[in-house]
A and B are shown apart, each in its own frame.
Chain A
């Protein structure tokens, strides 16, 4: 058959865009309009002159779909660069989470001990709660949250993934 069976894989894609109104809507609209997955999406202005922003989007699909996603992103007028960090050599990925845990006594001590083991910082505390700040791979954050669930997890805010290719060159160089 002409369409080979293709496995679904997760890809992290970096997109450098003009920092103008509506760009994020274009990107998100493209994903929803064409039925692509967004597992995580982050965006912030990154250039010194604030003219460009960088979007990191984590998506999943067959190789054909991933190719489509990249080609469709590249077609948007305000998009400068599209890079598939998953395909183009090694990269580092990080996510930041703020995790609120409430409890007293044994639970509180245990939460603090585990936070220390995960290198989470305490950024807020009362005598019955903590807010921890934790960065790392998403799997590490997942693991931490699983532990905290038993120790009084109240709520969590995660940034989604940001990522860069390893090595000395940048996307636009």
Chain B
């Protein structure tokens, strides 16, 4: 859609969005974006979803992106609109989510004058975006729009900000759709180096105690990568574990899957990481939540690391073979080479290895004491999963114990159905992310598994859900505590619960009703199933206040400063191994 006659910058933005395949924008108006809003008012290609806080616009865009694989788009005003967006941008940066955020800015001649609602948006967002732009000439606007989407979605995806001074939104220029020329300097590497991939396959084929460790890179690569991964696992018969971000990329019920690894990962996954002789890391980044103490991390293994971002390789952990490329492409090449070389796994060694793994599995590290007087949080998630799984729900979470229990007890079999703030750990993420996912999948069941503290950080978004008739379900595991904080205080600070109890919690049922949503409460295990079914039956947003055991802690746990083989399996264990001072200094 190229136009010869000049059109306004605001119209150029909208035409670009249409040409880029965008159909929805999450936003909040203000003085510096009025021309854009006026243009939105006068068209009907792009749907605008009015949120109630700019942070939520970003998380909604993330939820949209993660559940579709397409970029999410947010629109906010200058100054406070832009600064409110910063948490969402940082969240998208750390979790590599493609998001484009349009920010209004004061007119170009006012920039630098401390004008009303002026903030140095490109300065503030430089370290929390993959890239950002300040458009100072309307003639460049179309090009910047298209480049921004390319940068956000290609290579390692991430957030991009386009700062749009008000006069640029008004000024006119012809809209010329840029040709898909190669970028001057930005060229992500998609195909991996073949020689290194061959070397990796040789190493894999010789492994006696292999492990495949996957992360969000598989999800970002697209659904084909998940399929290829299944083939690789079928071909090799090797055990596989996933980070928090990678859940769903490999079916959780496949016997090869050892569960999540890391701080709250399973005993078998972490010990397999510790004891393996060859590690194949696909699209994960050796984050400290995964590695534990780096100098004791998987000490006897040769490591292969496949990542689209060269800077992820050898950043935290030294690897033997680093392959820069898209995980899906590299897995495809690995499979081809494995087949053409007629590689065979070392069946005998593998059998011994699986026997060892099954022994670790036998510890049943996720077991917990069921009770019939109180709902155990783990049980709540188990029932939620059992009763909703045939609907293929999209699950988002807030941050805390409930998030880890969701990761441990909800089964994910498909990519793009699990959305949680992994890298930044942003309380308040789940509800707006659920809204974004629900917009993308209007008919689907979308559930935010929440904590009572986190949900209050973006509770205003219930209003968004009601306005846009989005039937998102918020399932609060209400333990009255910032449970994860309290758990650390238990383990590290002698049970001194400084400020981790939330007194004066609202009545969540009446709160939901005040917003025009429905509220349900359950505290008896016998009523749990009926409440979940009731939640699903209600055609509209629902807040469930699920009262759970208040002092339950989340295990297994690899305490900070500990190694994979130093996990705590239960509360009794926890008493035995006090955390070192070094551990206390780690987050």
Residues of chain A touching chain B, judged by Cβ–Cβ distance below 8 Å, are 1-4, 17-18, 21-22, 25-26, 29, 33, 64, 67-68, 71-72, 74-80
Contacts and interface: CB of A to CB of B under 8 A. Distances in A.
Chain B: interface size category: 20 to 34
Contacts of A79: 185
Closest 10 A/B residue pairs (Cβ): A71-B311, A80-B185, A77-B131, A71-B310, A77-B186, A72-B311, A33-B127, A75-B311, A1-B295, A3-B318
Contact of A21 (B134, B185, B186): B134
Contact of A2 (B122, B123, B131, B317): B317
Contacts of B184: 18, 80
A75 B310 contact: yes
A71 B134 CA distance: 25
A77 B315 CA distance: 20
A75 B309 contact: yes
A68 B314 contact: yes
Nearest to A25: B126
Contact of A22 (B122, B294, B318): B122
B298 interface: yes
A75 B188 CA distance: 9
A4 B311 CA distance: 19
Given A75-B309, A77-B131, A77-B151, A25 B295 contact: no
A26 B314 contact: no
A156 B440 CA distance: 62
Interface string B125-168: 01100110010000000000000000100000000000000000
A18 B309 contact: no
B318 A4 contact: yes
Contacts of A67: 314
Contacts of A18: 184-185
Given A68-B311, A71-B311, A78 B185 contact: yes
Contact of B126 (A1, A3, A26): A26
Given A4-B318, A68-B311, 4 more contacts: A2-B299, A33-B127, A77-B151, A80-B185
A64 B314 contact: yes
Nearest to B155: A75
A155 B523 CA distance: 76
Given A74-B310, A77-B130, A2 B318 contact: yes
A81 to B, nearest CB: 8
A162 to B, nearest CB: 21
Contacts of B310: 71, 74-75
Contacts of B130: 77
A39 B578 CA distance: 42
A22 B131 CA distance: 11
A22 B126 contact: yes
Contacts of A71: 309-311, 313
